[in-house]
A = this chain, B = another copy of it.
Amino acid sequence: MLRQASSHEDDNTAPISGKTKIFAVVGDPVAQVRAPELMNNLFAAGSFDAVMIPVHVAARDLGQTMNALKSWKNLHGILVTIPHKFAACEQADTLSEMAMLAGCANAFRREPDGTWFAENFDGQGFVEGLAANGFDVTNRRVMIVGAGGAGASIAAALSRAPVKSIVISDIDPDRSAGLARRLKISGCDVTSEALETIQDNVELAINATPLGLSPTDPLPFDPKNLGPECLVADVIMKPAETKLLMAASALGLAIHGGAPMLDAQIELYRKFFGVPVSAAGDPEGAVLP
């Protein structure tokens, strides 16, 4: 689109017109969301006449906004971010297995029959982000701290990978127990434990809490209880290196930050929304295949 042209010469883009397809990313707040920039670059690269805008809407107005967006004849897809990923599920006619397992969704599209289908790519994005960095989750023993949207999504994807076992811990034991119960239907060994009891033999330890966003936050868990082969992963994107990752790194453990989880999802979104791909290997991402 025109608006991405600052970083490219936009030979293959066109201004937004009355025919441009609309996509929205819905959250509260939205100032920090990266999806418009990433997705609009993707649209431009694929010469796809579409634009993604940020929609800043409070929880009380979410239902009205989702219903309105779904009524627009030129609205093709919706991404949903914090804090709306759970509530937005009610707006879908059909949920993917991942969205059902996790209880939350982050991508909505209009199906050919006019109904709305919701998918959850957070967990798959996390798993693919790890794979891109050379870590295969298959048959691993995993611990996840935090059973909110991020933790539930990651746990759901890992339960289907499948991993060997998942132990989930949350400051609200009912929440982690409920998630563990729900994920057992996948056949995976999923349990809920108090934090103190779960750090033996873990091969992948994941922080899925917000602890680490602020430099004054305590560690979500202490990495010194982990074995030397354990990979420590954090879902937090800013800072790129959280206090947890720095502590794990100081202990000689391998670490994995939050950015690859979103980066991996962009390609998943591209496929989900049917955006044409740009030529592989084109550094500008702007040449057609």
Contact = CB atoms under 8 A, between A and B. Distances in A.
Interface of A: 1-7, 9-11, 13-20, 22, 28-34, 36-37, 40-41, 44, 51-58, 61, 64-65, 67-69, 71-74
Given A3-B14, A9-B5, A15-B40, A65 B72 contact: yes
Contacts of A1: 16
B5 A2 contact: yes
Given A64-B64, A65-B71, A74-B30, A54 B5 contact: no
Contacts of A41: 15
A200 to B, nearest CB: 41
B30 A18 contact: yes
28 contacts: A2-B40, A3-B13, A4-B16, A5-B6, A6-B11, A6-B14, A6-B15, A10-B10, A15-B40, A16-B36, A16-B40, A16-B53, A16-B54, A17-B33, A17-B36, A18-B29, A18-B33, A19-B54, A22-B55, A28-B73, A55-B72, A55-B74, A56-B72, A57-B68, A64-B67, A64-B71, A65-B72, A68-B68
A72 B41 CA distance: 24
Contacts of A15: 3-7, 36-37, 40-41
A1 to B, nearest CB: 8
Contact of A58 (B16, B18, B52, B73): B73
A67 to B, nearest CB: 6
A53 B76 CA distance: 13
A52 B16 contact: yes
Given A54-B22, A58-B71, A64-B64, A5 B16 contact: no
A20 B57 CA distance: 14
